[in-house]
Amino acid sequence: MAVFALVTDALAQETITIGVTTTGVPFTFVDTVTQQPTGAMVDLAKAIAHDNALKAQFEIMAFPALIPALKSGKIDLISAGMFVKDERKKIVNFSTPVYAFGETMFVAANDPLNYKIGDLKGEVVGAQIGSTFAHSLQGLGIFRQVKLYDSIADIMRDVKLGRIKAGFGDQPIVAYQLSQNSALGVRMVEDYQPIDRGQVSLAVAKDNPELSKRLEASIAKFKENGELAKIFARYGL
């Protein structure tokens, strides 16, 4: 259970438990040297905790498990590359947006064509479970299958091996991974126009308004003093 309780008297507690993923580079990932969570959203969560005199404790989990963990009280805060969506707003309270981006398309590195969405009619494509654009891709109704994966790395593997025609992932995450590893065997499609653009926010349980208030105050402060921009700039965002 999270030490940071869901009522106002919990503000006296010393620890806030934050849910992150390992597959959201450069937003959230594990440092291969320290084996600790790192990334723009991790740094932001640490800064928010420090601003509120709290100790940040991170819980690593799969992206689809973040909201259930928040609802159950296992974690107090989600700080990942999560878009604000109407269906999610019914379940959690989102902070003021801290970043915005859309998805990108990637294909095998030896595939020279820069596809449009319509060019992939009848093909099998991949997207990450729980991503906003996975639902949008399925809704287009043009693909033979939109195969769902646990991570972007898994999608890249199947694109490289020719198991699926193309993959879709968060643009900054895909771009960062490709910049760090030229052997992934995929490339981003040039001039791709995303079908989903979203705003990234942190999320708090609906029955924890006091934490939401503290969160908003810290984000406003970091926007004003330039700290928010500095945090994202560290990761090329």
Condensed to tens digits (0 to 9), the pLDDT of residues 30-69 reads: 988 999 999 999 999 999 999 999 999 999 999 999 999 9
Cα dihedral sign, 156-160-163-168: positive
In degrees, rounded to 5, the angle at the alpha carbon of residue 197 between the alpha carbons of residues 151 and 157 is 25
Largest CA distance in the chain: 59
Q: What is the pLDDT of residues 181-234, one digit of tens each?
A: 989 999 999 999 999 888 999 999 999 999 999 999 999 999 999 999 999 999
> pTM score, two decimals?
0.71
Looking at the structure of the chain, the number of domains it has is: 2
Q: Does 74 share its domain with 87?
A: yes
131: domain CATH number is 3.40.190.10
Domain co-membership, 45 together with 88 = yes
Structural domain harbouring 90: 8-98+201-233
193, burial (CB in 10 Å: exposed 0-12, middle 13-18, buried 19+) = exposed
Q: Are residues 107 and 193 in the same domain?
A: yes
Residue 122, token pair as written in the block: 């009848």
For residue 2, being part of any structural domain is answered with no
Task: Report, as an integer, the average pLDDT of 92-113.
Answer: 96
Round the average pLDDT of the chain to a whole number and report it: 92
128/141 same-domain check: yes
